[in-house]
Amino acid sequence: MAEENNKKQSNFIKQIIDEDLAGGRFDRVHTRFPPEPNGYLHIGHAKSICLNFGLAEEYNGKCNLRFDDTNPLKEDREYIDAIIEDVHWLGFDWEDRLFFASDYFEQMYQYAVQLIKMGKAYVDDLSAEEIKEYRGTLTKPGKESPYRNRSVEENLDLFERMRKGEFKDGEKVLRAKIDMKSGNLNMRDPVMYRIIHASHPRTGNKWCIYPMYDWAHGLEDSIERITHSICTLEFEDHRPLYDWFLDQLGVFHPRQIEFARLNLTYTVMSKRKLLRLVEEGYVSGWDDPRMPTIAGMRRRGYSPEAIRDFADRIGVAKANSVVDFALLEHCVRDDLNKRAERRMVVLNPLKVIIDNYPDDQVEELEAENNPEDANAGTRTVPFSKIIYIEREDFREEAPRKWFRLAPGKEVRLKHAYYITCNEVIKDENGQIVELHCTYDPQSRGGWTQDGRKVKGTLHWVSAAQAIPVEVRLYEHLFLKENPEEVEEGQDFTANINPNSLKIIKTALAEPGLKEAKPGQRFQFLRQGYFCADLKDHSAEHPVFNRTVTLRDSWARIEKKLK
């Protein structure tokens, strides 16, 4: 695997861990990936997953998979299942350490009681709007709630009655008693519990009070004896609160470390926006091959190895950045080049009749499956008098440096013969309908002894044996590197690429491709990497998704010629 060859480079998190280990703060490394089950995982999560599981692996430690299911209003069982599948697919194993924040609700409750008894938490009757008012602003300090100094006994009683369901949603909250004048708004008596009378995917109706992230997360980490709690930059301001709760309780205290989340060109990454793409029908679902979700990329044909390699290459730092999508594509090509078997598929067929080839003869020619892998073996492809080539591979008037087919020119048919074009047949509209060529019987296999120079090599299929297949050509979902770059009054959907999906129902493939299994990846010679669709592909109706094109240096040359 690619990522195992080049040694992984250092980053600031490893340096912190090294210091913690050397200084004795911890004697082991235990991380966790803590998704909220309120949406599908995307490539940004993949970065975090690779980071957390990768660190554990490198330091001979462990990494837990933990669902942060503290908000029953937003979370769903569907997402839990999808997330589990995706993390596994990426190649990571949490063994028996699959946890849920909801597993700790009782323990969290007891800790809250402890804080109340210490006089460090209180039940507040202020409404949500009032709490907001009392919080102050970025530049003005907040003011204390009139309920802030209730007695411990009253707080204990009220909190218990909150749990029992005696109050309606929003009627009361439990707050930490910290500092309403803090410059850090998170420290202005943050809410610890709110009342939500809703059924939870795992605890059902057992609870009607649910812990807030800041209160819950540190406890989850502490309970699981996590050493390094890695999260994204926006939680940097929350670290003082994370530390405060754990310090007050005097419990095991993990170290929170923040890193910059991944951004990719031509991509939106927020769950909210991805949800919009799905709900408003811009894509077919969370696993649409154009989505930056793990499920989408899987269906597109990206391999877990390529995604992991990508995660290694982008590094980990604290500076906000936008990674070039081309790097991801490079990783995909790099992996698939070594592993994907080659096949010939003509997307836009042009009929070629080989006049001097025996009428009813069919030859089975040998073709290597992968020039990058000797162990991939060979297969056989049929050749006959009538074949199809790619329409784009023929030009009536050849431009400079063109070494594909043109009148009077000779090219090589991959694995087959040299052919020369003699005649172009057109219909009444001037459309080319077929080509008449002659072949050189001496060039069987695609080579002659005489040292003749044949620069161009084309892929082709034999007309009688070719099978029709559907091919789905994907491009970036957005036209601009930064989809958010829009005019006044518009949003990112204004930048959606109308040509992000082009369906070709009339492609012709070499017959062996009828054996393809859903999810199987190939390189279609001279075109790109393709993957049999996970959902729609069948032997009766083959469907292939274009994962990524091959690099196309002819396109570059032609551009320069103009």
Partner RNA sequence: UGGGGUGUAGCCAAGCGGUAAGGCAGCGGGUUUUGGUCCCGCCAUUCGGGGGUUCGAAUCCUCCCACCCCAGCCA
Residues assigned a catalytic role: 36, 261, 271
Q: Can you list the alpha helix ranges (DSSP code H) found in 360-482?
A: none
Other C-beta atoms lying within 10 Å of the C-beta of residue 297: 26
**CA 207 to chain centroid:** 34
Closest by Cα among 496, 494, 492, 493 to 484:
492
What mask, x for binding RNA by CB under 7 A, covers residues 341 to 380?
-x---------------------------xxx--------
- Least CB distance to RNA at residue 447 (A): 4
Cα(457)–Cα(415) distance, integer angstroms: 9
- Tell me whether residue 288 or residue 293 sits nearer to RNA (CB atom): 293
Of 88-96, 249-257, 328-336, 488-496, which part binds RNA (CB under 7 A)?
A: 328-336
- Tell me whether residue 288 or residue 409 sits nearer to RNA (CB atom): 409
Cβ-based neighbours of 406, under 8 Å, separated by 6 or more: 394, 395, 396, 397, 398, 421
Select from 48, 52, 71, 545 the one that contacts RNA (CB under 7 A): 71
15: three-class secondary structure by DSSP: helix
Select from 213, 383, 439, 522 the one that contacts RNA (CB under 7 A): 213
Select from 77, 107, 118, 128 the one that contacts RNA (CB under 7 A): 128
- Tell me whether residue 29 or residue 108 sits nearer to RNA (CB atom): 108
Q: DSSP label at 386?
A: E
Q: Is 404 in the site for RNA (CB under 7 A)?
A: yes
Using CB under 7 A as the binding rule, the residues of this chain from 432 to 471 that contact RNA are 445-447, 456-457
- Tell me whether residue 113 or residue 327 sits nearer to RNA (CB atom): 327
Cβ-based neighbours of 68, under 8 Å, separated by 6 or more: 34, 35, 36, 101, 213, 216, 217, 220
CB 386 within 8 A of CB 351: yes
Select from 33, 207, 402, 439 the one that contacts RNA (CB under 7 A): 402
Using CB under 7 A as the binding rule, the residues of this chain from 249 to 278 that contact RNA are 260
CB 394 within 8 A of CB 406: yes
Cα(226)–Cα(95) distance, integer angstroms: 16
Select from 93, 154, 247, 324 the one that contacts RNA (CB under 7 A): 324
One-letter amino acid identity for 424? V
- Tell me whether residue 107 or residue 184 sits nearer to RNA (CB atom): 184
What are the E-state strand segments in 57-187?
Answer: 62-67, 98-100, 121-124, 173-176
- Least CB distance to RNA at residue 314 (A): 4
Using CB under 7 A as the binding rule, the residues of this chain from 50 to 69 that contact RNA are 68
Number of residues that bind RNA (CB under 7 A): 92
Of 24-32, 289-297, 494-502, 546-554, which part binds RNA (CB under 7 A)?
A: 546-554
Q: DSSP label at 37?
A: S
